[in-house]
Each structure stands twice: as structure tokens, then as C-alpha cells.
Amino acid sequence: MPHLFNLDENTSSRLAADMNEQGYAVLENALAPYVLEELRAYVDDQAARHNNQYFAYHGNAPLVGSRLAATAVSSEFRQHLARLHEQGQGHAAPSDQVFPVLRCVQGHSGLKESNAFHFDATLLTMLVPIFIPEQGKDRGDLVLFPNLRRVRGSVLFNAVEKVVYQNPLCRRLMGWCIERGWLKPLLLRMKPGNVYFFWGYRSLHANQPCDPAHRRATALFHYGDPHAGSLTTRMILRLNQHRARRAVARSKRQAS
């Protein structure tokens, strides 16, 4: 199974420059229509298994057999991300591991997953919108404070910083300030078929609320962990996976 798209050196250079200068980059019409339809069919099938409530898959294991899993282990895809990382950061990534995630925000349980501001564990984030509501106010748009911080030299300092920004009180406060216009993040209205890139480790980001009557599904590919191999990073990863499983379990209870 082929991966999602091809990326030549010149386009990669442009994407890296855009991420550094404006905080994000867009590869328009990156997905062939049949690829997008395949991804949508996969999400439809998985959503039905979760009673059309929120779910998230972290890592290759729950995605086995899908194009997303095949992309994550593709050597050519890893080369694309490696080149993009080096062009944007000036050095190779400490690790070439790609960590895929599929998030599907739908139903009333999905409202709890909005405005969950966070920094990613890996430097480079590639976001593939699969389903994005086209109508209404609450479309689940990406909210971004781009390139807010540098790569931290200390993994412990990075962990403490994440705890400060990612605790529920801080998240609620930020959402409240954004609603009143006191904080003005970058707002990305995503279009399925396009692919978006940003420095997820450096950028505080979240998705806005999504109308429970509609579905917002995105695939993410995380690459370039600056603290690869550290115990703290592994603990954060396990915590994220645990939270995803807990959110899915909560959605199932609410739907039953």
C-alpha cells in the first residue's frame, strides 16, 4: 500500500521556510481523491464501532491494515519528513520514528476534547484533515500559537513546561481569553485534501469545539523527538495513550 503523497526537494524547502516564517505550511491538494475517499471509508467504519462518539488511535498497533499505518512505516515517507526537518531546523532529527495518530471528534463526548492546548512531544507535526464540518460556527478549526518556544535543552524543563500549560485550569483560562479577544491565536480553517505542517513541539495548539452533529476527523504524523529515548518522553507517551483509551471508554459509557 503506497503512502499518502510525494514531496520533492523544492516543495519541501518551501514548506520548511513557511513553518519558520509564518508558523505553519500548507501542501494544497496533496491527496488524490481516491486516497481521501479511502481514508474517509476507514474513519466511517471505525466511527461506527465507537457509536459515533469521540475516539482516538495512538501508534501503529490500532491502525494496522490502514493506509495511515502503512504511511507511518514507509521508508520513503520517513525520508520526506527527515529532509523537511533538516531543512527547517538545520540538523537531522535525533530519531526517525514516525508516530501516527487518528482523532475523530464527534458527538457530545467530543466537546470535552476541544481547546485542549498542548505542545507535542515531537518537533514536526503533519496534519491530514479527513472530515471537517463545512457548515456552522463550530467547525473544530485548528488554533495555533506558532513557534512560541524553542527546543528545550532539558527534558525535565520540557516536562514541567507542559504541565504548566496543559493543566485544565490553564486551558480553560486560555479558551476564556480567546473568546473575549484578549488572546489572538492563529486560526486555521482546514480543507480535506490539503496537508498541513507546523512545529508541534514549539507551538501551543488545540482544536476549537466541533458541533456534535458533525464529524471532525484528522490524522497526525509526529516526527523528530528532541528528547528521544528519555524516560520522561516515554512516560508522556504512555500517559497520552492512557488518556485516549479513557476518553474512548467514557464515550462508550455515555452512548450506552
Q: What is the pTM of this model?
A: 0.90
Determine the straight-line distance between the first and last CA of the chain, rounded to whole angstroms.
Answer: 36
pLDDT score at 232: 62
Phi and psi dihedrals of 132, rounded to 5? -135, 125
pLDDT score at 86: 97
pLDDT tens digit at each of 256 positions of the chain: 466 888 999 999 999 999 999 999 999 999 999 999 999 999 999 999 988 888 999 999 999 999 999 999 999 999 999 999 999 999 999 989 999 999 998 877 656 778 889 999 999 999 999 999 987 778 889 999 999 999 998 888 998 898 899 999 999 999 899 989 999 999 999 999 999 999 999 999 999 888 888 899 999 999 999 987 666 666 666 665 656 555 555 545 554 5
Please, which residues have CB within 8 angstroms of residue 56's CB and are 6 or more apart in sequence?
Answer: 101, 102, 103, 104, 244, 247, 248
pLDDT score at 53: 87
pLDDT score at 159: 87
Euclidean distance between CA atoms 208 and 210, whole angstroms: 6
CATH number 1.20.1070.10 given to 9-255: no
Under 8 Å between Cβ of 150 and 142: no
